[in-house]
Amino acid sequence: MRRRLNTHHLAAAVLTLVVIAVAIAPWIYPYPPAQQNLAERLAPASPEHWLGTDHLGRDTLSRLLEGGRFSMTVAALATMLTCLLGVAIGVLSARRRGWVDEFLTRTNDVLLAVPEMVVALFIVATLGTGFGPLLLALTVTGWTPFARLSRTLAYDVSSRGFVEAAHVVGCSPSFIIFRHVIPHLAGPILGQATLRFGHLLISVGALSYLGLGVQPPQSDWGSMMAAAQPYTERAPLGILAPGLAIFVMALCVTLIGQRAARMATGPLLLPTADRT
Amino acid sequence: MKPLLDITDLTVRNLRPAADGSAPTSLIHGLSLSVNAGEFVALVGGSGSGKTLTALSAVRLLPPPLAITAGTVRLGSVDVTTAAETELNAVRGGEAGMLFQQPKRVFNPNRTIGAHLLEPLRVHRRLRGAAARTAAVDLLREVGFADAPKGFRSYPHQLSGGMAQRAMTAIALAGQPRLLLADEPTSALDKVLERQVLQLLDRERRDRGLGILYITHNIASVAPFADRVLVMDSGAIVEEGPTASVIAAPTTAYTRELLAASQLAPESGRRPQPVPREVLTLTDANKRFGRGRRAHTALDNVSLNLQRGEILGVLGQSGSGKSTLARAIVGLEKVDSGSITRHPDTAGKTPPATAVQLVFQEPHGSFDPRMTLRASMEAPLRRRRDLTPADRTRRITEAMADVELDECLLDRHPGQCSGGQLQRATIARALLLDPTILICDEATSALDALTQRTVLNLLLRLQREHSLSLLVISHDMDVIRYMCDRVAVLLDGKVIEVAETQAFFAGPSHEHSRALVDAAIPCRWDHLRTLMPGASRT
Amino acid sequence: MFPFIAKRTATLVAAVLVSSFAVFLIPYFTPGDPVRTIIRSRVSGNIIDDADVQALSLSLGLQDPLIVQYFSWLGRIATGDMGLSHVSRTPVADQVLPALAVTLSLVAAALALAVLVSLPLGIVAGLRHGKPADRVITSVTQSFIAMPEYWVAPLLVLVFALKLSVLPSAGWSGPESMVLPALTLALRPISYFTSAVRAGMIDAAAAEHVPAARARGLSVPQAVLRHVIPNGLVPLSTLVAVWFAGLLGGSVIVEVIFAVPGMGRLLFDAVVNSDIPLAQGGVVLVVALAVLVTTLADFVHRALTPAVEGSYA
């Protein structure tokens, strides 16, 4: 079979590279990210500072590597949390049906209508800023797409003959859920998860940008952009670089996610005809 | 007289090169046929023989990359192969109306029947406004809508399969075509509805002098109506002639196969009489779905019993509640009231729930497409603590041999098996659980006629060897007659008649049963042979 | 249809009740004495005295059971009395309603723009499925999903306001000040709408009723106009409503960056300044409106697709 280099291969390569770079940031960054140098404020890109410096003379590249740690960790954790919660709720809905399903589906409908940002503001207003509230803010509304998708898929698979056949031949409920239902969900859910990771990365940045996410002295890509905004005209790199980082990361996971979702819904082996 | 449709040396190819770079395959090679005004021509063949492509070629609606590469198709005065698209649009629906296989799916679900009907009236007859509406309602009345204005307003999903097929006929006739191309219009319908649709088409043929090209895989169902039969296999016509002579004296093996497939002769040697001992009793079982106005009664005070070693047939049309009955017995549905009792065996032990097994209609649905057959078959055995892995393997191998399947299929995925193989594998999986009762819910309806017969014979042998009690649920009279000792007829969730099979077919007592039996008789070609010579149509 | 409407309306009411109850409880979860917080939102003037608090607490019914307090609070909100802002000491309603008007016009402009752009793009991409036009449209619009608004907005400002000086960089004064915020806000909807329209077109074009329409004598353009495009656009109706609801409060970032005096900005300020009554009024209004809009969209969707037996109904 011919192998072609596709966009999603490139995306996976870029993503891997950035994840590794961010993970080993403390050993590779050119300057300590917090080191100020007021003589070199808002410097443009140069051999010393590849991406210039910010309004306090801190090296943008170093801060970018450092800031990625927070954004990506929160986004990854929130993705996992929402995914687990959503799949559990969706499968429960589809398997139990009746009023349990009704209740969970209605809640989902309502949460879908409630703006995510409002809920996040609401939670931060109530519980204050910090890692925990941030994660909670993203999880409270974030599970709904997973629940929707896994409910639909689990419903679909539950009404397929082979699940009913498994009931009739006496397979255990856990066997049915873990061997028949969950594998059927895995592909689309994985696709959804990568898409949601990109979305959450942007949301984390948004909250930090508003000052409701990461708190100083820590920083992430969102807060870097907020700090650089007043100097957009003098040093556009300060806002361009972290924005580009979020954009590229989100784009990469989107491309990979779409590919995963396409593969998951691709044709299974087609039945052969009964001709003799 | 010039024929309405004249196809000469038609060749259809797939223009996309195959994966291995070989030349495009030819799907129809050098086919010729013609249909005259007022003539009913049946084009008969198995699946994949190219019958549908022939119909689509007649109006040049082949889905790309398929295309006509040689030959001519003349529809009336138009040469279809070379005509411009605008000219073809006038021909499609105007010269030749078309009926499709799935009446429900050929309607736009978001538009009313009326909206569909107005389209050909405007395109071909330039009717608009009130005049078009009147013409549309008249057409619906003509094809058998009792309340035609209501039919005009209704949406496709509100119609039954039979009515949808009638509505489609009205649409096909709206452009006042002289030819009707009917592509298996009744294969999704049961026999009673099939016969009604055929009668309708036959009437239109007489009233309007229509030429009809009727495509089907079931030679027996069209035989009473067709003037000529063309038998098609692998993209070519292998036999043709007047209906009576083709049926009475088929010249090719393929035609004989098709004829044999549409017949299930009653078994010669009778099986041992069932021991009068009940294994299953249903008492006043009731089941309703939904609430309020949309409520639907699936089972209405159903009482039935099944004897040990007996084959009981449950006969009913779609929607009669027969699948609900099967699902309730195996515990996939709970009945609202009444009881379903499994009786203890001679040793006084009540068999486990898995002693009642079910074979579903759709063979490809019964196995998880992601698992090998072995994994699917092994799963229920894993719960048996007393079986070692070696025991499990041995039992699976034995069961496969019992249903006459090659062991190497075990390591395949369902997608790599045929429907017949999977249906056998389903039976094997059921046997693994030492069942006493086997329920077959339309177990062979999705199979082609030849495979159907071998699976039914397999079931009969297994029933004898394992002394099973069989509950055969079907809408197919031939299957019931072939298999069963007793017949129960289900109508709208009620058991309207229970009788010995022979007595039932000799003289059903209920009016609905009579309609079922009457509709089935002309579908049996051995009866046909006596009917055909001289007796054309009345 | 009727049971469906009844069910949906009941859900709507339940949703508003539950979410507003959560909002009502905010003072009890935030730092500070809830009683003082509530009194401060009900009575103008300063209260320092514990005796005053006692007296007011009694006269305002703050000793009643929570559920009684909740319903009287809800009653006041429904009649337009949302209390006094802690910061500006003016009625919350006077701030919330103008802000809502601003946000409604901004969101409407953004979504109108998104629909205008994505309709032709989606239709072309769907009908030319797999062709170069489809690939270009799909990859460009898909990349919009990954663009953070807080990145796009400064870039737009940099180009159109600072370098070219053709549009104002911030503020809310006249139609030209709406251009950049609406454009920023429209990017992600464009991406989702285009892909929904495209997918709808592909599905609709593959449906068996399309060749059937051709067999009745409809030309390709007639079949596409009557049976493909209308069917393919149905999913868009729901999507637009969901986005409309989402952007009512989801325009926070854009409103903050462009200094638009809308709902998002108001909620943000309320949170930053711990202005509890303002936050309560804003959130209740936004959520109620959002749930209402999506419910209405469900009715519309239902009317457009008569065959749907309601997988959620």
Please check whether residues C303 and C221 belong to one and the same domain: yes
Q: Which residue has the tokens 């090169």?
A: B17
Residue-wise pLDDT tens digits, B136-189: 999 999 888 889 999 999 988 888 878 888 899 999 999 999 999 998 888 767
Phi, psi of B190 (to 5 degrees): -80, 175
Provide the pLDDT for residue B296.
Answer: 78
d(CA B360, CA B433): 16
Residue A244 has pLDDT above 50, yes or no: yes
CB-based contact A127 C146, cutoff 8 Å: no
Structure tokens given for B44: 């008969």
Q: Which of C142, C264, C291 sits opposite A113 (nearest CB)?
A: C291
Structure tokens given for B262: 């549409």
Residues of A whose CB is below 8 A from B383: 170-172
Please check whether residues C52 and C179 belong to one and the same domain: no
Sign of torsion, CA C192 C194 C196 C202? negative
Nearest chain C residue to A226, by CA: C150
Residue-wise pLDDT tens digits, B322-334: 888 998 998 888 8
Query: Chains with 3 or more CB pairs closer than 8 angstroms to C?
Result: A, B
Query: Does C269 reside within a domain?
Result: yes
Please check whether residues C45 and C174 belong to one and the same domain: no
Query: Does C84 reside within a domain?
Result: no
Q: Does B329 touch chain A (CB under 8 A)?
A: no
CB proximity under 8 Å: B 371-410 to A: 371, 376, 379-380, 382-383
Among the residue ranges A271-275, B93-97, B417-421, the one predicted with the least confidence is A271-275
Residue C64 domain boundaries: 32-79
Residue-wise pLDDT tens digits, A69-99: 888 888 999 999 999 999 999 999 888 877 8
Provide the pLDDT for residue C112.
Answer: 95
The residue-averaged pLDDT of B303-320 equals 86
The b-or-e profile of C151-167 (16+ CB within 10 A means b, else e) is: bbbbbbbbebbeeeeeb
d(CA B80, CA B83): 5
Query: Does C24 reside within a domain?
Result: no
What is the distance in angstroms between the Cα of A124 and the nearest Cα belonging to chain C?
8
Query: Does C8 reside within a domain?
Result: no
Based on the number of CB atoms within 10 Å of its own CB, is C171 exposed (0-12), middle (13-18) or buried (19 or more)? exposed
Residue B531 has pLDDT above 70, yes or no: no
CB-based contact C142 A254, cutoff 8 Å: yes
pTM score, two decimals? 0.78
Q: What are the C-alpha distances in Å from A131 to residues A25, A215, A223, C202?
A: 21, 9, 14, 43
Query: Does C103 reside within a domain?
Result: yes
d(CA C209, CA C206): 8
Residue B501 has pLDDT above 50, yes or no: yes
Please check whether residues C44 and C106 belong to one and the same domain: no
First to last CA, chain A: 31
- The alpha helices in B218-261, defined as continuous H runs, are 219-222, 243-248, 253-261
CB-based contact A180 B368, cutoff 8 Å: yes
Provide the residue type at C119 as one letter: L
Residues of C whose CB is below 8 A from B172: 216
Query: Chains with 3 or more CB pairs closer than 8 angstroms to B?
Result: A, C
Based on the number of CB atoms within 10 Å of its own CB, is B107 exposed (0-12), middle (13-18) or buried (19 or more)? buried
Residues of B whose CB is below 8 A from A154: none
Please check whether residues C108 and C73 belong to one and the same domain: no
Provide the pLDDT for residue A275.
Answer: 28
CB-based contact C215 B85, cutoff 8 Å: no
Provide the pLDDT for residue A4.
Answer: 57
Q: Does C219 touch chain B (CB under 8 A)?
A: yes
d(CA B226, CA C246): 62
Please check whether residues C172 and C49 belong to one and the same domain: no
Please check whether residues C47 and C122 belong to one and the same domain: no
Of the candidates A260, A252, A254, A263, the residue with the CA atom closest to the CA atom of residue A16: A252
CB-based contact B109 C305, cutoff 8 Å: yes
Query: Does C210 reside within a domain?
Result: yes
The residue-averaged pLDDT of B446-458 equals 80
Q: Which of A168, A170, A270 sits opposite B332 (nearest CB)?
A: A168
CB-based contact A170 B354, cutoff 8 Å: yes
Query: Does C13 reside within a domain?
Result: no
Provide the pLDDT for residue A186.
Answer: 82
Q: Which of B59, B102, B156 sits opposite C307 (nearest CB)?
A: B156
d(CA B510, CA B517): 11
Q: Which of C19, C30, C142 sits opposite A114 (nearest CB)?
A: C19
Provide the residue type at B478 as one letter: D
Residue-wise pLDDT tens digits, A110-128: 777 677 777 887 787 777 7
Structure tokens given for B197: 């649709």
Whether C251 contacts C264, CB under 8 Å: yes
Provide the pLDDT for residue B273.
Answer: 64
Provide the pLDDT for residue C26.
Answer: 81
Structure tokens given for B464: 């004898």
Domain boundary residue among C14, C47, C79?
Answer: C79
Domain boundary residue among C51, C79, C107?
Answer: C79
Nearest chain B residue to A159, by CA: B365
What is the distance in angstroms between the Cα of B85 and the nearest Cα belonging to chain C?
8
What is the distance in angstroms between the Cα of C4 and the nearest Cα belonging to chain A?
13
CB proximity under 8 Å: C 275-304 to B: 304
Q: What 3-state class would DSSP assign to B437?
A: strand
Mutate to test the interface with B, among C4, C208, C209, C309 (most CBs of B within 10 A): C209
Q: Does C221 touch chain B (CB under 8 A)?
A: no
Phi, psi of A252 (to 5 degrees): -60, -50
Residue A269 has pLDDT above 80, yes or no: no
Q: Does C305 touch chain B (CB under 8 A)?
A: yes
What is the distance in angstroms between the Cα of B230 and the nearest Cα belonging to chain C?
23
Model confidence at B321, in pLDDT bands (50, 70, 90)? Answer: confident
Please check whether residues C101 and C73 belong to one and the same domain: no
The b-or-e profile of A151-189 (16+ CB within 10 A means b, else e) is: bbbbbebbebbbbbbbbbbbbeeebbbebbbbebbebbb
Phi, psi of C292 (to 5 degrees): -60, -45
| Structural domains counted in chain C | 2
Cis ω for the linkage preceding A133 (within 30 of 0): no
Q: pLDDT tens string for chain C (313 positions)?
A: 677 788 888 888 888 888 888 888 888 877 777 787 788 777 777 666 777 778 787 777 778 888 888 998 898 888 888 888 888 888 888 999 999 999 999 999 999 999 999 999 999 999 888 889 998 998 899 888 888 888 898 888 888 888 888 888 787 887 888 899 999 999 989 998 998 899 888 888 888 888 889 888 898 889 888 888 888 888 888 889 888 888 887 788 899 889 999 998 898 888 888 888 888 888 888 888 888 888 888 888 888 877 654 333 2
Provide the pLDDT for residue C182.
Answer: 93
Nearest chain B residue to C228, by CA: B108
Structure tokens given for A83: 């995914």
Nearest chain A residue to B369, by CA: A268
CB-based contact A239 C14, cutoff 8 Å: no
Of the candidates A188, A179, A217, the residue with the CA atom closest to the CA atom of residue A86: A188
Q: Which of A7, A118, A233 sits opposite C283 (nearest CB)?
A: A118
Provide the pLDDT for residue C77.
Answer: 87
Cis ω for the linkage preceding B65 (within 30 of 0): yes
Q: Which of A168, A171, A268 sits opposite B415 (nearest CB)?
A: A268
Provide the pLDDT for residue C106.
Answer: 94
d(CA B324, CA B326): 5
Report CA Rg, chain C: 24
Residue A255 has pLDDT above 70, yes or no: yes
What is the distance in angstroms between the Cα of A30 and the nearest Cα belonging to chain C?
25
Residues in CB range of B405: below 8 A, 6 or more apart: B421, B424, B425, B428
Q: Which of A165, A172, A272 sits opposite B418 (nearest CB)?
A: A272
Sign of torsion, CA A124 A126 A127 A132? negative
Domains and CATH numbers, chain B: 1-17+24-95+177-262+508-538 (3.40.50.300), 105-175 (no CATH), 277-351+436-501 (3.40.50.300), 365-433 (no CATH)
What is the distance in angstroms between the Cα of C303 and the nearest Cα belonging to chain A?
19
d(CA A269, CA A247): 37
- The alpha helices in chain C, defined as continuous H runs, are 2-24, 26-29, 34-42, 50-59, 66-78, 92-127, 132-145, 149-156, 176-206, 209-215, 220-223, 229-250, 252-257, 263-272, 276-304
Please check whether residues C188 and C280 belong to one and the same domain: yes
d(CA C128, CA C138): 11
CA angle (B416, B419, B425) in 5-degree steps: 80
Helix A131-158 crosses helix A116-127 at what angle (to 10 degrees)?
140
Residues of C whose CB is below 8 A from B90: 217
Structure tokens given for B409: 């299929």
Please check whether residues C145 and C42 belong to one and the same domain: no
CB-based contact A118 C157, cutoff 8 Å: no
Other C-beta atoms lying within 10 Å of the C-beta of residue B294? 9
Model confidence at B17, in pLDDT bands (50, 70, 90)? Answer: low
Kind and range of the H or E run holding B268: none
The residue-averaged pLDDT of B505-526 equals 70
Query: Chains with 3 or more CB pairs closer than 8 angstroms to A?
Result: B, C
Q: Does C97 touch chain B (CB under 8 A)?
A: no
Please check whether residues C36 and C161 belong to one and the same domain: no
